[in-house]
Amino acid sequence: MLRTVGSTQALHYAESRNYTEPLFVFVVMVIAGSRPVLTVVFGLVNGVAGRMPMRTHLVTAWSGFAAVPLLGSVVTEPAAMTIASLLLAPLVFRPDVPERLKYLALGVLFVNVSIGGTLTSYAAPPVLMVASTWNWDSAFMFSHFGWKAACAVLVNASIVTWLLRTHLRPGSSDGAVDGRPPVPLSITVVHLLLLAGVVVLAHHPVAFLGLFLMFLGFSQAYERHQSPLLIKEALLVAFFLAGLVILGGLQSWWLQPQALFFGSLALTAVTDNAALTYLGSLIAGISDPAKYMLVAGAVAGGGLTVIANAPNPAGVALLRKGFADESVGAGGLLLGALAPTAIAALAFLSF
């Protein structure tokens, strides 16, 4: 663009784009991935697991596949992927567990995280990229997508946990325990309040960036109660989404055909689902049913490959050591994700 239209017009175009969504994802991912917030989540999961009339590690594994992905609708999908991976790594992704079951578990995790963020309008990157343009709020998302996604998440999690039941072993699943003193309640409350404030002010970047600066200052002041912030991981996701905002605006000239469910589901396997939905938001006069099919297909296919959904690379990085040669095969992941993807697709198309 610099070469074809000059620096002035290129800068004007870049400044004309709306970067609220990438900024929001970056801020929420960093705050939600902080040690005090993760400690609360791990404590809740382990506390519930300890009170259930079943083996604790069985309930913990089910929570990692079901409860945490659904929690992603509050803390965002990237944070949910991080939490779930830390919970499941010592329980499921071990060298002695059969590879086919680990790939099935990975496929279920990726699919459930992808669809589990659709209960709200800000947590899933493919939804976030269209929510403002199409005026989809959290109430709309829950009534049209969320409850269907929750049904699919529960079914997928129950099936994979049952298949893994003989391979699960008790282990340390509290990723927040690292030999350091517990986080004081006051610090945890401040983190949760800042996270809630950012979510409430999601459409006001000046306000939530101000809260983020407060968070950075507070974290620096009480550094002894923090783990390294997820700055790098959050920046990777945010820069990718910002790139979509910049480059996507130049693609509207060819985006005129209606987007259909199976087309977006299949394309999600070879490109990021947020890219698909963002480009779909540029289609002039797209109908409401087509909007639904586009987003439903994009999130349902979010577990088919590593690149299909923005949080997937984080999950691979945290879980790959449990696989043979410490690497995740594309074919194994695709096969493992087919069944949970079909269940998710059935949920979105049947109701």
**Tens place of pLDDT per residue across the chain (351 aa):** 667 767 788 787 778 777 887 888 788 878 887 889 888 887 887 777 677 777 777 888 999 999 999 988 987 887 788 888 888 988 899 988 999 999 999 999 999 999 999 999 888 888 988 988 899 999 999 999 999 999 999 999 999 999 999 998 765 554 444 567 889 999 999 999 998 898 888 779 999 999 999 999 999 999 989 888 888 877 877 887 787 777 766 655 444 444 446 666 666 666 678 777 877 887 777 889 989 998 999 999 999 998 888 888 878 888 988 998 888 999 999 999 999 999 999 999 987
pTM (2 d.p.):
0.79
Dihedral angle of Cα 326, 332, 338, 344, to the nearest 10 degrees: 10
pLDDT at 259: 42
pLDDT at 258: 41
Q: Into how many domains does the chain fold?
A: 1
pLDDT at 261: 62
Q: Is residue 89 part of a domain?
A: yes
Other C-beta atoms closer than 10 Å to the C-beta of 67 total: 24
Q: Is residue 205 part of a domain?
A: yes
Dihedral angle of Cα 210, 215, 221, 224, to the nearest 10 degrees: -170
Q: Is residue 3 part of a domain?
A: no
- Computed on alpha carbons and rounded to an integer, the radius of gyration of the chain in Å comes to 20
* Helices (H), ranges, 249-306: 261-268, 273-280, 288-300
DSSP state at residue 229: P
Phi, psi of 222 (to 5 degrees): -120, 50
Q: What is the pLDDT of residues 56-83, one digit of tens each?
A: 778 889 999 999 999 889 878 877 888 8
Q: Which tokens in the block code for residue 79? A: 């944070």
Q: Is residue 1 part of a domain?
A: no
CB 38 within 8 A of CB 80: no
The three-point CA angle 230-231-236 to 5° equals 100
Q: Is residue 2 part of a domain?
A: no
DSSP state at residue 181: P
CA 296 vs CA 71, 141, 233: distances in Å: 19, 11, 26
Strand, coil or helix: what is 90? coil
Domain limits for position 330: 8-350
Give the whole-angstrom CA distance, residue 25 versus residue 116: 16
Residues in the chain: 351
Q: What is the pLDDT of residues 270-286, one digit of tens each?
A: 667 877 787 788 777 78
Q: Is residue 264 part of a domain?
A: yes
CA 318 vs CA 86, 122, 201, 276: distances in Å: 7, 24, 31, 26
The amino acid that residue 305 corresponds to is T
Closest by CA position to 114, among listed 341, 334, 317:
341
Q: What is the pLDDT of residues 208-240, one digit of tens each?
A: 999 999 999 999 999 989 888 888 877 877 887
